[in-house]
Amino acid sequence: MTKKLNISIIWKAIVIGVLILLMLIPLTFVKGAIKGRLVYKEEAASKIINSWGGEIAIAAPILNIPYPQKHVNEKKEVSYSTQYAKFAPKDLDVKVNMVSQSRYIGIFEVPVFTAQVTMKGSFDKISSDLSAMKLNESFVTLEINNLKGISTPIFTWKGKNYDFAPSVYNSSLKLRVPYTYEYSPRSSYAKYYRDDVVNDLKSLSSKIDFNNDTSEFAISFNIKGSKSISFVPLAKENLYQIYSTWKNPNFSGNFIPDTKTINSEGFDAKWNINYMASGIPARLDNADLSSALFTTSLLIPVDNYRAAERATKYGILFIILTFLAFFVFEITSKKPIHPFQYLLAGLAMAIFYILLVSISEFVSFCWAYLIAAAAVVSMITAYLKFSVLKNIALKHTLVIAAALSALYGYLYILLQLQDMALIFGSIGLFIGLAIVMYATRNIAWYEEQ
């Protein structure tokens, strides 16, 4: 007795493989549609940011003392230019109340805030050579990347009131301003730096009376911004406290809070940073402050577009598992399923992601996922029951519905996990393969002759 391959099973497997490859086409369109909505969302967010104020970075306050710098050219001609020695405070105590709110354009939400900033501290005596410096022309600057939404600062120096005004010169300090990268592979925002913009600080200045003595100051102002606020701890001793009613903060950058409280009423975070940790010298001329920057961001807890984009990464895997389940059911029950019917089931699974995104624009992601998954599972189950497998028993129909529901439940759990997603996914695939191997244990892969 000889054996040969069961050609009908082999051909059916090949056809299913081709159908799986064809399903890459609608999945690609789905991914493109989601990215298109992401771009549209960013365009809407940009309109809000442009009108309200962008991400804020503050390096302040700084004591500036002008001095003449001598230049000699090739012809031995002497000329002078005015330079500015910049000094950091001795100590700095900063309190920030981020009065937060959400702004909308259509259905798109952007977190914005008005930061109420209060700074107190002192400048110490300067040990540098002051013979060439013009102490009587000293001034203090606030150096901020975006002055669009700032109020007029209230400034006291040694108990006397002074006024800030826009500076007539650009800041010489360097600071790579952080920005939010929306297409992070993780579910939370990630911070990146614009290497092409390193001199993005603007100055407000106030002339003061400095006699090279210990000088106490106090500054308070409001500034509008969106998404995040960043600070550079310039002083020898820095105390920062940031609090807000926003319930979903994220702390990033070079320093995380020493203490923080996050609850249903908002958050309260505190930093205690000295100049040994920040690496910022007392004299700041032409310094790059990026290495000491720390950021507090206001996050939207669930971004439906990023979650849906993550879900599409599992799209082809889920189609493979569904087609494989259909194939196993077909050859074990000897009830044929036409390739076109496979294709329709695959298209229904691809439409799931469009449903998920569109519904999640109006309800929470959890409810959107439940509604979209229930709709697709019901449609595929009904199609199998009343068209593909008309004579199938009710209990078999319920088994199919339960299997599809478990598949979508498994995907939802994967989307909620971050660090454990790989191990959970691997275990799930192992269990799925074991089930297929068990279900196909009695299949006659060879025809006896």
Q: What is the pLDDT of residue 445?
A: 60
Share of the chain above pLDDT 70, in %: 85
φ and ψ of 139, to 5 deg: -150, 160
pLDDT in tens, 326-359: 777 777 667 777 788 888 888 888 888 888 888 8
Does residue 377 carry a pLDDT above 70? yes
Does residue 17 carry a pLDDT above 50? yes
DSSP string of 238-306, one letter each residue? EEEEEEES-S-EEEEES---SEEEEETTEEEEEEEEEHHHH---SB-TT-B-GGG-EEEEE--S--HHH
Mean pLDDT within 187-211: 63
pTM beyond 0.85 = no
- Where would I find the H helices in 24-93? 24-52
Q: What is the pLDDT of residue 135?
A: 87
Q: What is the pLDDT of residue 200?
A: 64
Q: What is the pLDDT of residue 191?
A: 42
Handedness of CA 306, 307, 310, 314 (dihedral sign): negative
Q: What is the pLDDT of residue 105?
A: 77
Mean pLDDT within 65-83: 80
How far apart (Å, rounded) are the C-alpha atoms in residues 337 and 329?
Answer: 9
